[in-house]
Amino acid sequence: MVGKSEPINGTAKSQPPPSPLSPKSPDLLSGYFSFKSLKLKTKQQELLIRVSILCLVYILAFVTRLFSVLRYESMIHEFDPYFNYRTTLFLTEKGFYEFWNWFDSESWYPLGRIIGGTLYPGLMVTAALLYWGLRFLRFAVHIREVCVLTAPFFASNTTILAYFFGKEIWDTGAGLVAAALIAICPGYISRSVAGSYDNEGVAIFALLLTFYLFVKAVNTGSLSWGLASAFGYFYMVSAWGGYVFIINLVPLYVLVLLITGRYSMRLYVAYNCMYILGMLLAMQIRFVGFQHVQSGEHMAAMGVFFLMQVFYLLDWLKHLLSDTKLFQAFLRMTVTSAVGVGAVALGVGTASGYISPWTGRFYSLLDPTYAKDHIPIIASVSEHQPTAWSSFMFDFQILLFLFPAGLYFCFKRLSDATIFIVMYGLTSMYFAGVMVRLILVATPAVCLISAIAVSATIKNLTLLLRAKTKAPQSASGKGGSSGKAASKGSLDQSQPFQKNGAIALLFGAFYLLSKYVTHCTWVTSEAYSSPSIVLAARGAHGNRVIFDDYREAYFWLRQNTPPDAKVMSWWDYGYQITAMGNRTVIVDNNTWNNTHIATVGRAMSSYEDEAYEIMRSLDVDYVLVVFGGVTGYSSDDINKFLWMVRIGGGVFPVIKEPDYLVNGEYRVDKGAAPKMLNCLMYKLSYYRFGELTTEYGRPPGYDRARGVEIGNKDIKLEYLEEAFTTSNWIVRIYKVKPPNNRW
């Protein structure tokens, strides 16, 4: 424990300094560093190093997320971010009250959507505040730039938070490692690259903030930390629907503490303050409102709250009643009646409809097969699919191995804080397995727990190294683990190779960590920086080919169609059409009305004349389809078509999935089902495609996305006419003809 050793000169990415447990003589350091000339005390040196590492991590977290801007341009990515961008723009232009009361007549025609009451405003308000702040400081930024960089900025803030959280549950070393790990963890980067202007970008920060403040409140028992965690919770509720995770995890954690006999006044103060104030604050968000006290997902928190009061009462009574026998009897009675009252209240509430049942999304978390059988609209989203093992490997890499090791260390040094992180890690890992997108929620926990493993291991190893020279001194360590490690060190002194072994293991650890850095950078630059609205591919000569068809189509809509034109497309493209095309859409990514989406699905899977009736009833002027047959772009509407059939058939039984399949097989070539070959979606996708030769040596009408020659090359459209097809045929727009003049 004499001096600081090698990790200090490492880069900030992954190599933490050992724990700054006790002040030591700086003489060894002075050889390597010129700190001595600055006359810094060890504590100050350590602080300086810590701060500079954090600064580097902070910058790194921001910079690594800029790949998307470098590779493409400063643009908003994907689907939902376009809605967020549009609403943010509205907020900055019209002000908060207009935003709060915004009734959007451009989406969900003709139903419209109350935007203010059906969104989580946290992200937009945050970006708008940043924008106004920058404006106030006379930075002439455009709101789009602010939106593009909001997610990286918050990712940087998350690293700082991870440091404090790590410090709270373990020590500063673990905190620094956690900050470095989370800064480049692909699981988090996937949702927070520049341009990925989505709720999650801010929400992970808010999530971690709430957890950190709550753990802090539990550790200190301070009312002010509890209050702070309530506000953190409020920010989380305002930012993302994932707050339900907090409001279920925290009571679960409290319950576990109660059961394991770790009930304390600190816990009582922290939980009650956080729950009551957090609830009142959360109810201020219009989208949540009374759900917070009425819906089934929030009942666990309320139940635990009441349980806590019973516990406190019992504690007090125990204090008053000296007779243990009397108390035992009273205890039995109270517990029975409390449980009875709770069960009756829950039963009556559910039966009377006052407590709403769990939502489908919540069910599908608990039972991964639920959505597949009951709610095709949830199952159809790719990010709601169960996670493949490969994506765990892809998103966590070495953290996947460090996670169990970290759990081991946590169990070895159980405290209120480590119990919390263990529970957070285990539950979120379960949810990450159920749904791909929830890997994001698990990432902070995985990083923190892995950081504990890394930090503790390295600390033990370095202790071993130093123990040989100054074994007696090392026993003065404060922390339990260092004490143990030290005793282990003194034990291991008898073994001959322990120093060499420790060095080898250290190198191994650094090798792994540097591999992690390489992997993360590679993943970020190759996989997670694509805006998905601009597609990139490699040409035949290895050159980069950019397909900018989406924007081409949306700008065509903006320039060439009447301002009140209604565009029908599958819901995936709704947000983009309203944001970029500025046209009214029938359905969009806010899938609040299943029937409306099913109507569109039905139109797409009907014959042209039936579809025409539906489109007339919805006043549709244009139909937009996405088609990848020319470019080989596989996430097009033909590949999504079975979901349209399923969702349409879920509401309108005239649409039957077997009509579109041949022997349970989905095909588009000559062997396809007759209904498939003549439904609107097929016709719109493949109209005039039969004339086109897509690949050398293939017959005309060869679909490159599915690798087959299409089955219906002679497509005639009667009620629609082709209005626009982008240069690579990715987006095709058709105009709905007015009814025949003479018929």
Partner 1 sequence: MATATARSAVLLLALISFLLLLPFLAAALSVDSPKGRRVLVLLDDLATKSSHSLYFRSLQSRGYDLDFKLADDPKIGLQRYGQYLYDGLILFCPATERFGGSLDQAAILDFVDSGHDLIIAADASASDLIREIATECGVDFDEDPLAVVVDHIGYAVSDTEGDHTLIAADDFIDSSVILGDKKIEAPVLFQGIGHSLNPSNNLVLKVLAASPSAYSANPKSKLSNPPSLTGSAISLVSVVQARNNARVLITGSLSLFSNRLFRSSVQKAGSSTRHEKAGNEQFLTEISKWIFHERGHLKAVNVKHNLVGEADEPAMYRITDDLEYSVEIYEWSGSSWEPYVSDDVQVQFYMMSPYVLKTLSTDKKGVYSTSFKVPDVYGVFQFKLEYQRLGYTSLSLSKQIPVRPFRHNEYERFIPAAYPYYGAAFSMMAGFFLFTFAHLYNK
Q: How far is the CB of 616 from partner 1 (least distance, A)?
A: 12
- Residue 415 phi/psi, 5-degree rounding, is -145, 175
Core vs surface per residue 128-165: b (16+ CB within 10 A) or e: bebbeeeeeeeeeeebbebbbbbbbbbbbbbbbbbbbb
Q: Is 736 helix (H, G, I), strand (E, B) or coil?
A: strand
How many angstroms separate the Cα of 373 from the Cα of each of 74, 241, 334, 378, 646? 40, 23, 42, 10, 11
**Alpha-carbon distance 563 to 326, whole Å?**
78
Beta bridge mates, 701: none
Reduced to 3 states (helix: H, G, I; strand: E, B; else coil), residue 584 is strand
In the complex, the smallest distance separating the C-beta of residue 151 from partner 1, rounded to whole angstroms, is 29
Minimum distance of partner 1 from residue 577's CB (angstroms): 16
Number of other CB atoms surrounding residue 662 within 10 Å: 14
Is the CB of residue 188 less than 8 Å from the CB of residue 462? no
Q: Which tokens in the block code for residue 704?
A: 């490159």
Backbone angles phi, psi at 216, to 5 degrees: -60, -45
Footprint on this chain of partner 1 (rule: CB under 8 A): 97, 100-101, 103, 105, 109-112, 114, 564, 584, 617-618, 738-743
- How far is Cα 530 from Cα 450, in angstroms, rounded to an integer? 28
CB of 614 to partner 1, least distance (A): 11
What minimum distance in Å lies between the beta carbon of 115 and partner 1? 11
What amino acid is encoded at 40 in this protein? L
Give the shortest CB-11-to-partner 1 separation in angstroms.
Answer: 51
Count of Cβ atoms closer than 10 Å to residue 525 Cβ: 14
Judge contact between 732 and 624, C-beta under 8 A.
yes
Closest CA to 131 of 140, 143, 122, 149: 143
Taking 3-state DSSP, the helix, strand and coil percentages for the chain, each rounded to the nearest 5, stand at 65, 5, 30
Rounded to whole angstroms, how far apart are CA atoms 245 and 189?
20
User: Residue 481 contacts by C-beta under 8 Å, 6 or more apart in sequence?
Assistant: 409, 412, 413, 456, 459, 460
Q: Are 569 and 560 in contact (CB under 8 A)?
A: no
Tell me if 425 sits within 8 A of 442, measured CB to CB. yes
Q: How many Å apart are CA 442 and CA 429, to the nearest integer?
A: 6
Measured distance CA(671)–CA(669) in Å, rounded: 5
Q: Could you count the other beta carbons within 10 Å of the beta carbon of residue 320?
A: 8
Nearer to partner 1, 382 or 617 (CB): 617
**Count of alpha carbons within 13 angstroms of residue 108, beta-carbon side:** 15
Q: How many CB atoms neighbour CB 344 within 10 A?
A: 10
C-alpha distance from residue 730 to each of 97, 246, 534 (Å) = 39, 41, 11
